Amino acid sequence: MSFDRVLRWALVAIAIAGLTAGSLARAAGRPDLADVAWALGTVPVIAGLAVSIVQDLLRGRVGVDAIALLSMSAALALGQPLAGAVVALMYSGGNVLEEIAIARAEHDLRSLVDRAPRQVHRKSSERIEDVPIEEVAAGDELLVQAGEIVPVDGVVASAFAAIDESAVTGEPIPVEKTRGSAVLSGSLNAGETFQLTVTAAASESTYAGIVRMVTAAQTARAPFVRLADRYALIFLPVTLVISYVAWLISGDVTRSLAVLVAATPCPLILAAPVAFIAGVAQAARRGILVKGGKALEALARAHTVLFDKTGTLTVGGARLLSVEVAPGKDPHEVLTLGASLEQASHHVLAKAVVAAALAEGLKLKPPEHVKETMGAGRSGQIDGRHVMAGSREMLLARAELSSWELRAIRRASWRSALIVFVAVDGRPIGALLLADELRADTPRAIRLLRDAGIARMVMVTGDRAAAAQAIGAALDLDAVLADRVPSDKVEAVRSEQRLHPTVMVGDGINDAPALAVADTGVALGARGASASSEAADVVILTDRLDRVGEAIVIAQRARRIALQSIFVGMGLSLAAMAAASLGWLDPVPAAIVQEVIDVAVILNALRALNPPLARSGPRLTAEQGLSLHHDHQALLRDLGRLRQIVDALDDAGAEAAAALIGEADRLVQGSVVMHEREDEDSVYPKLTEVLRDRHGLAAMSRAHREILHLARLLARIAEDLPSEKIDRYLIRDAQRVIEAIETLVRMHTAQEEDIYEAVAA
């Protein structure tokens, strides 16, 4: 415990003892001893306050605590020791109350630091030894026992681990990790003991960076808080003037003393720091690390938000969009052969192809004699066949391209996708279209920012203009700046700053300069981009963009509460001073009123520690929301197959087309229709109980009806196939219906995810 803290508690104890002893002496009929006891309880507080004021003066600061010094000294000089003792208790108690309030507000931040591990269990020569965390190096093997904090960043070396990442990312549900999965330090082992292969030393791990940022958050002061300090200086001469006028008009020096006693600058001194620290702590609970009150206040004033694209608005990695096939070829065969060959590559596109094949449940085969052409592709033997996967230049050297190859290239261009052709024995059989995709939570994040009052949103990216414009149009952004290098991003931030307070949101190393120059830099730090996290003022510890909107809402609320506490508190203080100057409050009651105002201001400022009062009523539980999400994931896999069927119908003959249309009908009836009916019968009634606006749900039900109508049309086409002539017109009609179903259900599912997120507990 620090000396200052011991002194504060000692002065409170002395003030309480003096006031209590004096009251007992007065009750015993010894007013002389009572006056002595009250004076003895006041003098140490005066002395401590005088030392504090001198120290402030030596640092070049003038504090309004001088009012308390004047009131206590004047009370003793004017023979009002009881008033002096009450003010002494109120002043010393106010300091302790401020300390308790700030400690309460900092609790969530401090808990992150306090839980940092000190020892680890390291495997060495087939035995386990406990060593200090500082001795751990990359490549070491550690054991993390059940219930322990993961000490450093690493990857799971066991078959399975259950990790609770709530303290680091704010996500409440434990995550299942398999062998090779990355684990963030600071997470909790929620399952059995597992083995961890260290990838970063303790000083370079995620949790160490969080601790450093927490320390900065606890010491930084907001400009708003310093501004409150300057306003408090105005309060000192105003108080002295009111006190002098009260004495001048009444001729009673006791009234002047009552004004001094009633004067409380606590709304100015305490409200701002307590509210902002509480806001920082509330943000930490949501997996948002704000580096102090300065960053929080800047966030509250934000007008413009600039976003990086890749990894911020989008998932930041290649995803398989579709499989284009040559006439008569099977999409699963194309994907299986392509993914089997890509197993031999460590390229990010290869990993995406392999992941897509495994997600489809395809069984991959080991490639042999693999050869790679840098930047073009690779070839190898699979089941005795020569398979090639790579760029158009590698596979399609001939001048004349077939119609399906031209179609694949055209579709890749439309969707700003990369294309990987797959060939067997020199003949192309299909193409894989891969591209970055929008984050699932990005539309909700944009809506939250609009709701929070952000007037302008701009994407600034190094990506091509076509890809950037497509994303910008989908999100209805105000501007899109493409083909920007890091220095261009910095200039874009500065251009916006000249007009309005600006926030920059990014995740990569190339975003660090722009994050540093913005009024507020927000880094998506869940993926461990340390450069951007260090440069940013705010770090989102969970991989969710919608936390940016939440951070702004929390900051705005903290600032609003600070202003409310200041204006209401100072209004009450001035009213108490006016009452004292009119003789309505004597010194002792004035001191009590002063303390009531102080307590009210602090309690109001602490409201920033909690989220806004939620509307009472039922909510969807996290488990219910997760179940609904899993249902949608299964549905999206079926929608992917519908997309493949639409593409395959382009070149299908009559017999093949009939089979594809029949398959599409079975998928729609067995998956889509059942899902929508289940939503209408059981999910939507639950949502009706928790949604504030029922009209939006009615619109969603209309979408259900349209989906079911299209499903009936497809069923009618499928039923008529045996008796109909299957010509290109019938195939085109079927294509249109299937494509409409796939598009509408995909959009409708995204809207439902948005609603589920909004009403989850």
Q: Is the predicted pLDDT of residue 338 greater than 80, yes or no?
A: yes
Query: Is 308 considered catalytic here?
Result: yes
Q: Is the predicted pLDDT of residue 530 greater than 60, yes or no?
A: no
The residue-averaged pLDDT of 458-465 equals: 83
Which of 113-122, 163-172, 586-595 has the highest average model confidence (pLDDT)?
A: 586-595
Residue 570 neighbours by CB under 8 Å, 6+ apart: 235, 267, 268
This model's pTM is above 0.75: no
Alpha helices in 63-143 (DSSP H): 66-77, 81-105, 107-114
**Which tokens is 611 given?**
């989220």
Geometric angle at alpha carbon 489, from 485 and 494, rounded to 5°: 150
Of 108, 164, 308, 647, which is the active-site residue?
308
pLDDT tens track for 683-707: 777 776 666 555 456 666 777 788 8
> Among candidates 123, 159, 125, which has minimal Cα distance to 143?
123
User: Residue 114: which pLDDT band, with cuts at 50, 70 and 90?
Assistant: low
- Alpha carbons 641 and 594: distance in angstroms, whole number: 71
DSSP state of 148: P
pLDDT given for residue 478 in this prediction? 92
Are 302 and 518 spatial neighbours (Cβ–Cβ below 8 Å)? Answer: no
Residue 752 neighbours by CB under 8 Å, 6+ apart: 628, 632, 679, 700
Residue 695 neighbours by CB under 8 Å, 6+ apart: none
- Alpha carbons 208 and 266: distance in angstroms, whole number: 36
CA 219 from chain centre, in angstroms, equals 22
User: Residue 228: which pLDDT band, with cuts at 50, 70 and 90?
Assistant: low
pLDDT tens track for 653-685: 888 888 888 899 999 998 888 888 887 777 777
Is pLDDT larger for residue 291 or for residue 546?
A: 546
Beta bridge partners of 521: 504
pLDDT tens track for 427-459: 888 899 887 777 777 888 888 899 889 999 999
**Which tokens is 404 given?**
């399906």
User: At 453, which amino acid appears?
Assistant: G
CA 222 from chain centre, in angstroms, equals 21
**Which tokens is 390 given?**
């790579």
Beta bridge partners of 123: 128
pLDDT given for residue 306 in this prediction? 95
DSSP β-ladder status, 160-164 and 188-189:
antiparallel
> Among candidates 531, 8, 532, 526, which has minimal Cα distance to 308?
532
Give the number of residues written for the chain: 761
**Which tokens is 740 given?**
């409409």
